[in-house]
Chain A
Amino acid sequence: MDSVESSSEPKSRSQLGTALLIVLALAGAWAALKHFSGGALGGGAGSYDWDFGVLWKYRSLLVSGLLYTLLFTVICVVLGLFVGLVTGLGRLSSNPLITAPLRAYIEVFRCTPVLVQLVWFYYALPVLTGLEMSAVVAATLCLSLYGGAFYSEIVRGGIISIDAGQTEAAKALGMTRLQLLRRVILPQAFKKMVPPLMNQSIMQLKNTSLLSVLAVPDLLYQGQVIAHDTYRPLELYTFIAIAYFAVLLPITIWAKRMEFGSGPKEV
């Protein structure tokens, strides 16, 4: 008993915080549900007859929407990380013929709204290039490039934060640029990149909700379809908000853990 207590001592603070957060979230959800069901018992003038029961009929649609959202997130995060790594490394080049176009790409994607980009990729790009694209392809391309622009800055920032002495020491041992990047710089930079990369990936998941404007059947799109079918938009959007929250809360808690885990090893 004693040993269990002493070993969990350093973690107990963050565990307490996490537990508190979950309790608060559950309490909020319960209060909301109670309020909604209580509305039927005779609330104020704007009383609305909440009925979450109708959702059960559409469970398979909602599950497929959620799976679509998760699948899109994974694909766009993986492709985006690849784009971000390549462009982030490319921007460290001393050749302006490489860095200038990369800078332009990053600024274009960072300085326009992602919703505008999605619509533009689907409607305008095929006209410009003559290439017909399905909504899924256009959305994947756009979200990956959008995420890549942000990942790119994270990668570049992580690398330039490593002390120049590390590069010199690796060079002095006779390492080529590729070797010193792989053996010395990236392992150190990666640790610093993990928390912001996590953050950006969480944003990516939320951004997939914009796919619904291109009629990609993600969680939000399915919700809209069901809402039209049932005239129950309030229940639907409430459910969808809770679904996103339920997926992201564990991920953010896990990301926080990673952050703490990599922290003390630094310096």
Chain B
Amino acid sequence: MASPLIEIANLKKAFGQNVVLKDISLQIERGQVVAMIGPSGSGKSTLLRCINLLSIPNAGRITVGEQTIEFDGARTTLPSERSLARFRASTGMVFQHFNLFPHMTALRNVMEGPVTVLKTPKAQAEAEARALLAKVGLLDRADYYPDKLSGGQKQRVAIARALAMKPTVMLFDEATSALDPELVGEVLNVIKGLAREGMTMILVTHEIGFAREVADQVIFMRDGVVAECGPPGVVIANPQQESTRAFLGRFKASSEAASSSNNVVTAVA
């Protein structure tokens, strides 16, 4: 069997006295879509941010594709800034609040990574950026500044911006939580399209229904540990643990209430 594309081994992260991740180990195969769910404060966003080193783990090992980076807990062996940057460039991150660069047009936002980091020639970067904007359905908004775009459009530009780096894996940190309910669908459709193309993705999400639909694997996190992990048919439909059942129970109740009034699956904060 081929080695997994992403491997996380014995990852630990603490903010001061507050231990957020306790010895996490995970393996993700190429082309898999993994949904991370769980109550807020369970460490799922921190885990995602550790995978692209926006949060520096205290201990453990992370492998993404060809690159492996190790942390032994001592400050002296912190990886160099350059190696951190190189590692991050191979992962695409999509944020809850989009974080588009407001002083650049949608097109320039998408070109920025390739031009500045990969030193791609401008003409080539522009052609690729236009293709990506077309892919997320926003080619006609190429010359708009972010403040002239809706939330859903901003997030689709942000997805195109992350894709422009040709990442090994795409990470979504509650990508639809800040959107108005009627705009959630357009973003989820883009993510669904990426899943069909075989993009490896990790989604931190509150959209249980969506997780069930697109994920190959669901990870339920609680108190800094992976409480349950498996295909959605098991973790969501037939959870083994009491805490998972309790968490999902609340969701089922609220999403049923919501779907009785309209057929949009609402995100619950």
A residues whose Cβ falls under 8 Å from a Cβ of B: 163, 165-166, 168-177, 179, 183-184, 187-188, 191, 267
Return chain B residues, CB-CB under 8 Å to A165. Answer: 95, 97, 99
- Given A172-B52, A172-B54, A173-B88, A183 contacting B112 (CB threshold 8 A): yes
B113 x A174 contact (CB < 8 A):
yes
B residues whose Cβ falls under 8 Å from a Cβ of A: 52, 54, 81-82, 85-86, 88-93, 95, 97, 99-103, 112-113, 116-117, 147, 158, 161-162, 165
Tell me the smallest distance from the CB of B263 to a CB of chain A, in Å.
32
**How many angstroms between the C-alpha atoms of A166 and B97 in the bound complex?**
10
Starting from the known contacts A171-B54, A188-B103, A267-B147, 8 additional A-B residue pairs (CB-CB under 8 Å) come to A166-B101, A168-B95, A169-B93, A172-B88, A174-B90, A175-B85, A175-B116, A179-B116
Return chain B residues, CB-CB under 8 Å to A176. Answer: 81-82, 85
Task: Point out the residue from B93, B101, B147 that lies within 8 Å of A184, measured CB to CB.
Answer: B101
The secondary-structure label for the interface of chain A is helix
Return chain B residues, CB-CB under 8 Å to A177. Answer: 81
A-B contact pairs, 19 of them (CB 8 A): A165-B95, A166-B99, A169-B95, A169-B100, A169-B158, A172-B52, A172-B54, A172-B93, A172-B95, A173-B89, A173-B112, A173-B113, A174-B89, A174-B165, A175-B85, A176-B85, A188-B101, A188-B102, A191-B103
- Given A176-B82, A177-B81, A169 contacting B101 (CB threshold 8 A): yes
B101 x A175 contact (CB < 8 A):
no
**How many angstroms between the C-alpha atoms of A191 and B52 in the bound complex?**
31
- Given A174-B89, A176-B82, A183 contacting B116 (CB threshold 8 A): yes
Task: Point out the residue from A168, A174, A183 that lies within 8 Å of B85, measured CB to CB.
Answer: A174
Return chain B residues, CB-CB under 8 Å to A172. Answer: 52, 54, 88, 91-93, 95, 162
A173 x B165 contact (CB < 8 A):
yes
Return chain A residues, CB-CB under 8 Å to B117. Answer: 173-175, 179
Task: Point out the residue from B54, B101, B102, B116 that lies within 8 Å of A267, measured CB to CB.
Answer: B102
Most buried by A among B95, B99, B113: B99
**How many angstroms between the C-alpha atoms of A140 and B97 in the bound complex?**
47
